[in-house]
A and B are shown apart, each in its own frame.
Chain A
Amino acid sequence: MMSNILATIRFTIAQKAKSKTLITMTVIFSLILSAMIHIPYVLSLLDEENEATTYSIGIISEENSDVTPSLQQYGQQADAVDMVLLSPDNEDMSWMRSTLEEKELDAILQVKQQSSSENVFPTFTYYYNDESEALQEQIRSMLEIIKAEVIGIQLGLTEDQLIEVRSPIVLEQVSLEEADQVSREDENENKGLQIVLLYVLVITIFMSVTFSGTSIASEITAEKSSRVMEILITSTSPVQQMFGKIIGIFMISLFQLLIIAAVGGLNVVLPHNAEVIEGLNIAWSAIDPFLVIYAFVYYILGFFLYATLFGALGSMVSRVEEINQVTLPVMLLVIVGFYISIWGLNIPESSFVVFSSYFPFFTPFVMFLRIIMSDISFWEILLSWVILLASAIGIGVLAAKVYKTGVLMYGKRPSMNELRKAMKTNK
């Protein structure tokens, strides 16, 4: 009898794989994912454009002071600053203003030699516009280094001593008070990635369940309305028929996910993306491999729980137009579960969230949230699995009974009472 399930799985996959809706959806999701993965790269391109602008700073020096060549030298070393030596004649306020306004130069640095002594370091005036204001600090530290060097030379320091003077100060910051907070921040950063995993899981379950669920229900109704059902159930048992279809659609759904994941993976390893993403310093190690296994278990169990329910509902109506009516309550369950998991992010320990995490229809959405956001012992996870599995089997058995009865009932949608009666007379 296993061969019947296999034949049904095979037939379902063969028919489903040709479905235009499925192909279109896979392509759309792949494109959206690709676009999302490219966001960091596109952002980095924009950053690079900003970095590419170099500032040109004009220098007005009264006479050839020692400082000017040093300034030019440092300007060359710094990537973003270009020093231009201007003639001393340009010391005209209105000229400077128009030059800065028209952005011919970004800033002007005027060097004023103290008249009293040659050995005294000059004073400076920095003329800037709104764009070069921020450069001031860079110029200041540049000048400080030059000053130290000039004085060092005047003091007759050796080249080694000069290097020592130039070398930056090592200042390690350790705040005992904040040490705890730092590690917590670290932890939150790790949580960030786990929360991403949570969103991926919740959205995946939501999408899979709603799309596959509707698809299962409508195919069963279509089989009923086209009356091929009478042939099917005289060939194979309804349970095999229903589970064959559900497994077939599950495999298609899984395959679709794999394709989308593969497209995502491919995008990540593209050289231009890989570089940027590496730069984001994502701590992949924060994701416990167990988390991925948990996610997969909730995905599978959640899928089958809802799929059997959709299957039973699909068997109750005779026309495809009526499907929305009967599947609406289940859709609401899915949506509520989805929202609890999003909304419960901030209050993972509230009794409502804890309770929902054991309610089988919400478990796939909510339990994973608790695993990530609160300390939860393994027996709780195990308990949620047991409840979920038991409900999936229970709903499966019930669904198979409803299905067996429902597929033979035509005409108006049976009420719960009529259905129960029919199930009784029908073994």
Chain B
Amino acid sequence: MSYLNLEQVSKQYGTKTAVQQINFQVERGEIFGLLGGNGAGKTTTMRMILGLISHDAGDITYNGKVYDDTLLKKMGYLPEERGLYPKVKVSEQLTYLAQLKGMSRKQADKDLKAWLERFGVPENYDRKMEELSKGNQQKIQFIAAVLHRPALLILDEAFSGLDPVNVELLKKTVQELRDEGTCIVFSTHRMEHVEELCKQMLILHQSNTLLQGNIKEIKAQFPKEQVRLVTAAPLKKLEQIDGVQKVEQLQNGYKIKMDREETAKKILHYALDKTDIHHFEIMQPTLHDIFVNTVGGEQ
């Protein structure tokens, strides 16, 4: 049975609909991707899951039960707008926050040291938040969300503003938490992160569900409409092949957009006639393409 279950959940602010009949389930040990443009209703959805605001219609259940205050201790939240006490030492505020989540001070302190060690920043233990670099503040914020070992973790734009090394570090950590059985709701603008981490996803657009399901299945639904081609000599008149819609000249080869998958064969034959081929690939649509296409198409 899924741990988190949203059924026909809606939320209105006055006359404005923030979320319209949203449905999804997240299992333990699963990362669920919540996508959407700005103002699509992601934050409202997450706040409803966290119990910060009530929903007007539908049901949200946690392990089969409705929301109550005891759930607070089982949830971890990394808000999009990061924030901790700027003038308080990392150790003091994180042990305090963990205490609020029902952890003992001693245990929290011990675990905090382990986390700082794991992220390679043990020296931040005694520093004030405002003294840290942005990347380090992000790490501390992440620790604040997971220190008490939540069963349900809500990550809103977890990797924004981090350098690639730290993105990899946090990504690995999130995967480890998933493998330990944490139920994770993950929101982002960065499609490649969703592709890498999530099994299921949902795209929100203007309060409505635009697209939802297993990522592999979603991608399979979309036709493979692009060819990546690298040849020994430059090719001319590629756009004159029947079915080719757009040719993009890259630093190294071409990206060709076509009307249907069968056109790929024609491109391959044409290219073989002219020169040697170093690389030929019919490309899967990226989530990025799907997102831009579907959201763009709606607008």
Contacts and interface: CB of A to CB of B under 8 A. Distances in A.
B83 A234 contact: no
A204 interface: no
Interface residues of B, number: 33
Contacts of B54: 425-427
B92 interface: yes
B82 A227 contact: yes
B14 A228 contact: no
B75 interface: yes
Nearest to B141: A231
A231 B52 contact: no
Interface in B4-23: 12-14
Contacts of B85: 15, 223, 226, 228
Interface residues of A, number: 27
Nearest to A244: B100
A297 interface: no
Given A235-B101, A421-B14, A408 B83 contact: no
A1 interface: yes
A421 to B, nearest CB: 6
A10 B99 CA distance: 11
Chain A interface helix/strand/loop/mixed: helix
A233 B51 CA distance: 10
A119 interface: no
Contacts of A237: 69, 72
B84 A226 contact: yes
Interface in B82-112: 82-86, 88, 92-93, 96-97, 99-102
A14 interface: yes
A131 B73 CA distance: 84
B53 A227 contact: no
B77 A230 contact: yes
Contacts of B81: 227, 230
B14 A231 contact: no
Contacts of B88: 15
Interface in B133-181: 144-145
A11 B102 contact: no
A226 B54 CA distance: 24
Interface string A1-31: 1011001101100110000000000000000
Q: Pick the 3 closest A-B CB pairs, nearest first.
A: A227-B83, A235-B100, A7-B99
